[in-house]
Amino acid sequence: MDIVEEVCERGVVERRVGLKVDGGEIVPGIVWLPEAATGPRPTVILGHGGAVHKRAPEVLGLARRLVRHRGYAVVALDAPEHGDRITDKEAARAMRRSLQARIDQGPGAGPPVVMANQAAGFAGRMATHVGELSALVDDLMSTGFSDDRMGYWGMSMGTGIGLRFVASEPRVKAAVLGLAGLGAGMGGAEFETAARSLRVPILFLLQWDDELIAGDSGLALFDAIGSSDKTLHINPGGHIQVPVFENDSAESFFVRHLGAGG
């Protein structure tokens, strides 16, 4: 990764970086790490949700927390057509409007209606980002930035992509997933197969009043996860109302499975 810009605030260094992947594309990302950090340390990759980006409030808050409290390194990349990678601004605005309109309808109506060509494009972008995340792990390990204690966290689209990534990446040792379900726009049989192949510890979060993910769909995904070490947390509230205290749960989960940082 090439460093584009670096700032430090209250003991947390934030580096804007560019990751070069196959084909020569530079994927924009952010690395957070403790001030004056040296040597490899546990690293958590954060996957953002749909219609947001690598520095969304929930991503930034958890990143700073893991750095300040545990001495971890944290990394997030923009997914294709998100954040600094948006090429069609009107399509991005339309997606945000569609998601908000669906949330405004309340629970029960299911995910937003997606045209076949849109679904195919989304599936292709998810597959692309799985490969980009694996390239990120290659970079982190080859440069000595991270040791073999690697974790992943991602909600909603961050699970749609991240579950596939974790299932295909043996170097990831534990993951926090959630706000996703079977048959809920995340993919069909292939997504379920990936879930059943998981073997690493999983913390899974659902919202009882989720406007986008039906409860039975989310529970079916949790049930499909093949890991013997898996925990389910369900809280009241809608899709974007995950309680802040679940960051406590994520922090404790990663420390339990990745150990303490430097």
96 or 227: which carries more pLDDT confidence? 227
Structure tokens at 218: 């989310």
Q: What is the dihedral angle through the alpha carbons of 57, 58, 59, 62, rounded to the nearest 10 degrees?
A: 120
- Amino acid 149 reads R
In the chain, the N- to C-terminal Cα span, in Å, equals 22
Tokens of 96: 């945000």
Q: Which residues contact 61 (CB under 8 A, 6 or more apart)?
A: 244, 247
Q: Containing domain of residue 238, as a range?
A: 2-258
Torsion of CA 257, 46, 262, 17, to 10 degrees: 150
Q: What CATH number corresponds to the domain at position 47?
A: 3.40.50.1820
For residue 52, which amino acid is it? V
Q: Give me 9's structure tokens.
A: 């605030």
Opening angle at CA 35, ends 34 and 36, nearest 5: 110
DSSP per-residue letters across 211-250: SSS-HHHHHHHHHH---SSEEEEEESS-TT---TTHHHHH
Mind listing the pLDDT tens digit for each residue in 182-191?
986 777 889 9
* 41 pLDDT higher than 60: yes
- The average pLDDT across 72-77 equals 97
Distance (Å, whole) CA 190 – CA 178: 18
**CA angle, 91 then 92 then 95, to 5°:** 85
Nearest to 55 by CA among 36, 31, 21, 73: 31
Looking up tokens 């000595």 gives 144
> Which pLDDT value is given to residue 95?
86
pLDDT of residue 115: 40
pLDDT single digits (tens) 1-15: 999 999 999 999 999
Burial of residue 2 (CB within 10 Å: 0-12, 13-18, 19+) is: exposed
Please give the mean pLDDT across all residues of the chain. 92
Q: How many domains does the chain have?
A: 1
Say what the pLDDT of residue 121 is.
63
Predicted confidence (pLDDT) per residue in 115-169, tens digit: 444 555 677 888 899 999 999 999 999 988 888 899 999 999 999 999 999 999 9
Helix H or strand E segment including 85: none
